[in-house]
Amino acid sequence: MAEQKHSSWSIATIGMALLASSCCVIQLVLNMLSISCAGFAVLTPYRPWFTLATLATMTLAWQRQKKNHDNNKSRRVLFWTGCVAAVLLASPELVRYMNESASTLDTRPIVLELDGLGCLACANKIKQGLKQVPGVADALVFFDNSTALVKCNAPCAVPELVKTVEQLGSYRAWVVSK
């Protein structure tokens, strides 16, 4: 019976953590499967609440475990649940950090305006697509203002950059500055 209670707490904790990071984790998995944006960005404004619910659920589970003096197995389950929840909760920041890594190459920048950018995972998908274009040294995609900064170390075909973005899904792109 105690094992069932702990698995319920674990499922609730991981479920809340998944909702808190759904714009990243779930969308990144869908991107790996070549599925376009699924609209999880609508949950982004509720992320603080899902994070709070995750932490509250985890705290209650630990308190219950401590109060009932449960066995080592239940303690291990709660420990690993906490680890998974922590990784899930940190994933949006990790994706943002990876998307905004700066390049040290001497390059000429091209700024693209983006439309249809729904989440950080979409930004990551566009960044990876732009980096595949010949001549592109690095690409930074900014989710907050829907722009991309493309750094070319060789002549870049600007129409190819726009075409690449538009072929990645339901996105539109146009050049703001070269």
pLDDT in tens, 87-130: 989 888 887 777 665 444 456 789 999 998 888 888 899 999 99
With 0.75 as the threshold, say if the pTM is over it. no
Would the pLDDT of 1 be above 50?
Answer: no
**Residue 121 shares a structural domain with residue 40:** no
The pLDDT of residue 164 is 92
pLDDT at 28 over 50: yes
Is the pLDDT at 3 greater than 70? The verdict is no
User: How high does pLDDT run on average in the chain?
Assistant: 82
> In whole angstroms, what is the distance from residue 8 CA to residue 30 CA?
26
Tell me: do 8 and 83 sit in the same domain: yes
Q: How many independent structural domains does the chain possess?
A: 2
Same domain flag for 116 and 91: no
Task: Strand 172-177: give its sheet, edge to edge.
Answer: 136-142, 147-152, 108-115, 172-177
The residue segments making up the domain with residue 66 are: 2-99
